[in-house]
Amino acid sequence: MANRVLLGKDGNGDYCLKVSASGANVLTTSNLTFNSLITDSTSGVTSTEGRAFNVIQSGVINGSGTTAATYSVQFPSIVDNSGNYSIPFVHALYEKTVTETNIAAGYYTGYGYHASGTYSWGAYMLLESHGFNSSGGNYTSGTQYGRLRFNASNPGNMSLSYYILAIPAHG
Amino acid sequence: MANRVLLGNHGTYGYGLYVSKSNIDVTGANIEDFLFASTATNNNQLLLLEWIPITHGGSGTTTVTQQYANFNKDCEVMMVYTSGGEPVTAGSATDAWSANDFGSLFTGLVTLTNTKTSSSVGTLTLTATGASSYTLNPIIAVFTQEI
């Protein structure tokens, strides 16, 4: 069996956590499935340092009825040490519940909406970084929340599976 | 408090590094309960997440390229079309969101390709065409996940 997990000093003398692919020796291979030493100094790139896709919140929003409606969920705002709020990166999957064969996947981020079309089945998504309480009302005190809203023109046919990632949209 | 980190031999999944969700004992955890498992095919990491604007003047083809460190991966890419910071359209192909070659999007005017240029460099190429002037400001993300 190959050595697949290295927690310590690698051959370059760097302390790290590395995990190699099945069958590959973590001590010698570049075929890694996790590498804590990822960094990028390429011009035009702000290094992400190999952030993992940690999910801070996930769920499903199910629409109902035939009248256009807006649904929302709140998530704890992402704020840095300087007090700046960031819109999280969100992966959302729209699903038309009438038939399971019609599933549209999309990655969405930013403050704005996703225009209607064949992907979203007449729905759009709006992300707001902060300014709300846990119930979606205006923020007054305590933990501040952002809001993910989902609007559907025919909500009974709609559901939205979402994953809010601990990654600011700007990286 | 539950045992949440295991570096060693898991009773079901063998030797590895495992981290379980809050309040779940890692030694008895199932695969859906792991935050991290070294036995996974890939523990998807982000290599690039950038706004890469492109402004087309209404004639010819406009090309924008961006290189990145690929760590010897033929990486998966996803993008979100935006304009002025807001997503406006998903494009027109069902694979528009996650693929290495996005083909024609934005009513056929914009393409995005991702190339493994070398064992250390990947190259994103964004092109825009059409008879009208426009600016797009897409977010482009690159994962360690390989196609």
Instruction: Note the pLDDT of residue A111.
Output: 34
Q: B20 by DSSP, 3-state: which? A: strand
pLDDT of B67 > 50? The answer is yes
Q: A10, A58, A114: best mutation site toward chain B, by most B Cβ within 10 Å?
A: A114
- Identify the pLDDT of residue A164: 81
Q: B70 and B11 in one domain?
A: no
Per-residue pLDDT of chain A (171 residues; tens, 9 = 90+): 789 999 999 999 999 999 998 899 999 998 899 999 999 999 999 898 888 877 788 888 888 888 878 888 999 888 777 777 777 777 766 665 544 333 333 344 333 333 333 333 345 567 777 889 999 999 999 999 988 877 776 777 777 778 787 776 554
Amino acid at site A118: T
The residue written with tokens 């699903």 in the block is: A95
B:49-108 residues touching chain A, CB 8 A cutoff: 49-51, 66-69, 71-72, 78-80, 82, 85-90, 94, 97-98
Are B17 and B75 contained in the same domain? Answer: no
Question: Are residues B85 and B136 located together in one domain of the fold?
Answer: yes
> Would you call B87 and A41 a contact, using CB atoms and an 8 Å cutoff?
no
Residue B57: what pLDDT?
A: 87
Mean pLDDT to the nearest integer, B61-77: 91
DSSP 8-state class, residue A116: P
Confidence of residue B147 (pLDDT cuts 50, 70, 90): low
Residue B91 shares a structural domain with residue B64: yes
Contact A39 B69 (CB under 8 A): yes
Contact A51 B45 (CB under 8 A): yes
A11 to A14, A28, A35, A41, B70: CA distances (angstroms): 7, 8, 14, 21, 20
| A141 neighbors A134 (Cβ within 8 angstroms) | no
Most B CBs within 10 Å, among A32, A49, A56, A126, to test the B interface: A32
Same-domain status, B135 and B68: yes
pLDDT tens track for B99-139: 333 444 555 677 788 889 999 999 998 888 888 787 777 77
- B116 and B138 share a domain? yes
Contacts of A151 in chain B (CB under 8 A): none
Residues B21 and B80 reside in one and the same domain: no
Do B9 and B67 share a structural domain?
no
Place of tokens 């996005």: B102
Q: Where are the beta strands (DSSP E) in chain A?
A: 5-9, 15-20, 32-35, 55-62, 69-76, 78-79, 85-86, 88-96, 103-108, 123-132, 145-152, 158-168
Contact A52 B44 (CB under 8 A): yes
HSE value, Cβ hemisphere, 13 Å, CA-based, for B88: 12
Domain with B11 in it: 5-37
Binary contact (B66, A38; C-beta < 8 A): no
Task: Choose, out of A10, A16, A42, the residue to mutate when testing the contact with B (most B CBs < 10 Å).
Answer: A42
Please tell me the predicted confidence (pLDDT) of residue A117: 31
Q: What is the pLDDT of residue B16?
A: 92
* Angstroms from B130 CA to nearest CA on chain A: 22
The number of distinct structural domains making up chain B is: 2
Distance CA(A142)–CA(A154), nearest Å, equals: 36
DSSP state of B100: S
Domain boundaries, chain A: 5-35, 55-168
Mean pLDDT of chain B: 78
Q: Are residues B127 and B97 in the same domain?
A: yes
Q: Is the pLDDT at B61 greater than 60, yes or no? A: yes
What spatial distance separates the first Cα and last Cα of chain B, rounded to whole Å?
39
Residues B22 and B64 in one domain: no
Task: Provide the pLDDT for residue A168.
Answer: 67
Same domain, B103 and B78: yes
Q: Are A16 and A37 in contact (CB under 8 A)?
A: yes
Q: Where are the alpha helices (DSSP H) in chain B?
A: none
Q: What is the pLDDT of residues B36-57, one digit of tens each?
A: 899 888 778 889 988 888 888 8
B63 pLDDT band, cuts 50/70/90, is very high
> Are B15 and B57 in a shared domain?
no
Residues 6+ apart with CB under 8 A from A149: A70, A71, A72, A125, A126, A127, A128
In this structure, what token pair is assigned to residue A109? 């981020």
Whether residues A33 and B141 touch (CB distance < 8 A) is answered with no
